[in-house]
Structure 1
């Protein structure tokens, strides 16, 4: 019998140290560029079928909300395998440890003419509804947020709304997520100091600033230019944003984000729904996915297969 040796994508100690200093790692390749283009041509059609989606389409799209993009890995075989890919999981476990859950995934489309995404940080993800969506245990209270792995399904360039990071800002929260943001989908947002139009999916993230007079140090910003199939790993507590999409000839820019936490983190504690972006969805069919190791805790609801029966490949 031949033993199959798994390829390792664990970053070097130097890369991990650089991640802790900057707050991000990458970009790195998950798919070959032509492979990504081929896969997305196929999957964008399959994803139009929402019969297996865990959130009701009518509720998810109420108010033109972004919740419709949440957690399609729970019904899509391709996305289920994507969040578990060794190229991703090995890098995540190098930061979070061996026992890891994927608790959410999201699509982030930007169409030609769309404004940039405002500078923001996320710790408990309570900024929209006021309810924490993830809580680290008291014994690990120096940590917070989630590891996000953002994969470019299409080109992400300076003119197609690439991500921007402010390195080293992941250790200090400049926003108070317990403050209330008002959902105003038709609000026209102000320009930043460089004249870039930015917003936050119907919210004004500046309403959460601890110091109303504080401004993000945009002079330190770096752009994450990525080819289709490349990914970037970063702390959600690091200041991040995106540029506007100013290139009509290049079509939609699409990123797909998987969000990861250790199994010790409580996911959606004391809540049965997600209420944000002008919509509300029930969590009755939701479950986190173990992507690596074991889960000895009992505080999170979990699933081991998609709604269509595809088993998640645990690393």
Structure 2
């Protein structure tokens, strides 16, 4: 299978690519006009409530009580299916990952007035919550790891309502051991203070994974990713990142939509038929990765044709 009409007009320049490799992130950059994003989200937020075609119909997803409920709506919503293919995004991702690219997961990240900030964290295999790797790079590329995340602001994102924070250059060394297991405690949500800031990780404490229990991220180097609606930021998941708390001084929710990309050589959800994390479990029976650029010459993963009603799977 080949994705056609690849003009690469948004590809990173040599200077931009060098900066990305040094800092671990690129952007913000425009994907939509501000008014276009605002109008689109007013429409799509209503469609989001209809889960009749969502790939995860398990109780953990349909109840909405775990973060899994926010996963992979690009597989049943036409707007999100188109979003992950936009050349403003995929041209830049392919500049880093090469010509053959999969989207393996998307997630909504809402932050409501009064919500805590997100813990400083890094993700390599995404075994952080379950203890089981969700992505595995081939042995010859094991020093790379992680995924490229493109986080798009569907609303205003600023320091007052909980925008992202990065520590530039921190993607070069992992400070967390994802083979450890964090303990899920939903009662801890919005209830912890860390270094004077209310932070958590959706019911987990990410510090439990630290290689050195006494290590602390150098927050003096942190930068805040203030973004307008329709802007996106691209970063390695191994980059130290977090978010500010929502101060509650505005009643507007902050909403980000994260699309995660890997080369076709990466194995997604290897040797498992379910996602188990955040106190829930959902079946992968209806799940498939999306080929967004190039060819899949490996056949490691089940591909899906995106439709708004039903799903067709195949290996190419």
Matches within 5 A, 1:233-248: 233-248=234-249
CA distance in 2, matches of 1:154, 1:198: 21
Cα distance change of structure 1 residues 189 and 170 upon mapping to structure 2, 3 Å threshold: farther
Matches within 5 A, 1:12-161: 12-56=13-57, 58-61=59-62, 64-161=65-162
What is the deviation of 1:196? 1.2
Q: Is the Cα–Cα contact under 8 Å of residues 108 and 256 in structure 1 kept in the other structure?
A: yes
Q: Is the Cα–Cα contact under 8 Å of residues 136 and 266 in structure 1 kept in the other structure?
A: yes
CA distance in 2, matches of 1:304, 1:46: 20
Q: Is the Cα–Cα contact under 8 Å of residues 118 and 242 in structure 1 kept in the other structure?
A: yes
What is the deviation of 1:62? 5.2
CA distance in 2, matches of 1:273, 1:174: 27
CA distance in 2, matches of 1:141, 1:224: 29
Cα distance change of structure 1 residues 280 and 62 upon mapping to structure 2, 3 Å threshold: farther
| Aligned partner of residue 176 in structure 2, secondary structure | coil
Cα distance change of structure 1 residues 277 and 147 upon mapping to structure 2, 3 Å threshold: same
Aligned position for 2:269: 268
So what's the TM-score if we normalise by structure 2? 0.94
What is the deviation of 1:7? 6.8
What is the deviation of 1:8? 1.0
What is the deviation of 1:247? 3.3
Aligned position for 1:173: 174
CA distance in 1, matches of 2:29, 2:214: 37
| Aligned partner of residue 234 in structure 2, secondary structure | strand
Aligned position for 1:183: 184
| Aligned partner of residue 120 in structure 1, secondary structure | coil
Q: Is the Cα–Cα contact under 8 Å of residues 127 and 181 in structure 1 kept in the other structure?
A: yes
Aligned position for 2:214: 213
Cα distance change of structure 1 residues 309 and 59 upon mapping to structure 2, 3 Å threshold: closer
Gaps of 5+ in 1: none
Q: Report which stretch shifted further, 108-117 or 5-14.
A: 5-14
So what's the TM-score if we normalise by structure 1? 0.94
What is the deviation of 1:251? 1.2
Runs of 4 or more, structure 1, over 3 Å off, are: 4-7
CA distance in 2, matches of 1:282, 1:144: 25
CA distance in 1, matches of 2:261, 2:7: 22
Report the count of equivalent residues. 307
CA distance in 1, matches of 2:30, 2:254: 18
Q: Is the Cα–Cα contact under 8 Å of residues 24 and 169 in structure 2 kept in the other structure?
A: yes
| Aligned partner of residue 303 in structure 1, secondary structure | strand
